[in-house]
Amino acid sequence: MLRILLLEDDKSLNRGISLKLQKEGYEVLSAFGVTEAEEVFRTNQIDLIISDITMNDGNGLDFAKEVRKKSDVHILFLTALDQEVDIVNGYDVGADDYITKPFSLMVLISKVNAIMRRIESRQNGSEETGELYAEDICMQSVQMKVYKGGEELNLSKKEIQLLHYFLEHPGQIISKEQILEAVWGLDGQFVDDNIVPVTISRLKKRLSSKEEGEYIKNVRGLGYLWTTKVSKK
């Protein structure tokens, strides 16, 4: 049974989410503060962390940052902080997804199920195991690591997922809606409207421009285009 750590200091909300997740077939370990969450994570095998950000004894971003130093566990933030900078900060510390309150419980469950399907696919060995190459960029698909010129790039999880999607569709014009569905899940209606251009802009800076042009080109009114050839090994 896949196991979820739920870090939420609102006891009523924590209980409601836990009951719903348990009905979906997941084991849920609840924590009501950062200190308690750290102990639960240290002593249990966790597949997914669902975390609030602002709590009495700490900050969910700091907790996630510490978790990322030693684990690739999936992280989903569930918080009232809904400004663009808050969302970007969430993805920067390694979040897989970010939901703002008030939220739809159905949407939360859909996102959790999507994450868990990816986890089960990886455990069953059904995910792609090859490497993707675009000039001096190399992506290891399983490890989700990116190298440029032989040096590993420090990208957020969403930046890596976005790059992976582009490398899987080179030379194709990809709309913002397609990116939202592929990288953020569902149809994107619950994601901040600026998150795609902001994340693409940050990814461009991390990759840096080539002498003859950019890797990712904006196609006005249509979407985005990966400009170089991609090979698989």
Chain centroid to Cα 89, Å, comes to 12
* pLDDT digits 0-9 by tens, 105-153: 988 998 898 888 878 776 665 455 568 999 999 998 777 889 998 899 9
Claim to verify: residue 108 and residue 158 sit in the same structural domain: no
Claim to verify: residue 114 and residue 8 sit in the same structural domain: yes
Least Cα distance to 90 among 103, 76, 109 occurs for 76
- The confidence band for 60, taking pLDDT boundaries of 50, 70 and 90, is very high
Average pLDDT over residues 160-179: 91
Contact status, residue 26 vs residue 49, Cβ threshold 8 Å: no
Pairing label, strands 151-152, 145-148 = antiparallel
Claim to verify: residue 140 and residue 45 sit in the same structural domain: no
Average pLDDT over residues 23-51: 96
Q: Give CA–CA dist 193/133, Å, rounded.
A: 30
* pLDDT digits 0-9 by tens, 209-228: 555 468 999 999 899 999 99
We report the CATH number of the domain holding residue 55 as 3.40.50.2300
pTM greater than the 0.85 cutoff? no
Is the peptide bond between 102 and the residue preceding it cis, with omega within 30 degrees of 0?
yes
Claim to verify: residue 115 and residue 189 sit in the same structural domain: no
The pLDDT value recorded for residue 40 is: 96
Q: Find residue 174's DSSP bridge partners.
A: 224
Reduced to 3 states (helix: H, G, I; strand: E, B; else coil), residue 176 is helix
Query: What is the number of structural domains in the chain?
Result: 2
Claim to verify: residue 81 and residue 148 sit in the same structural domain: no
Question: DSSP character for 180?
Answer: I
- 71 phi, psi to nearest 5 deg: -150, 150
Contacts (Cβ under 8 Å, ≥6 apart) of 37: 5, 7, 31, 49, 51, 63
Mean confidence (pLDDT) of the chain: 87
Chain centroid to Cα 199, Å, comes to 12
We report the CATH number of the domain holding residue 212 as 1.10.10.10
Which of 77, 94, 123 finishes a domain?
Answer: 123
Domain, as residue range, for 23: 3-123
Average pLDDT over residues 59-66: 94
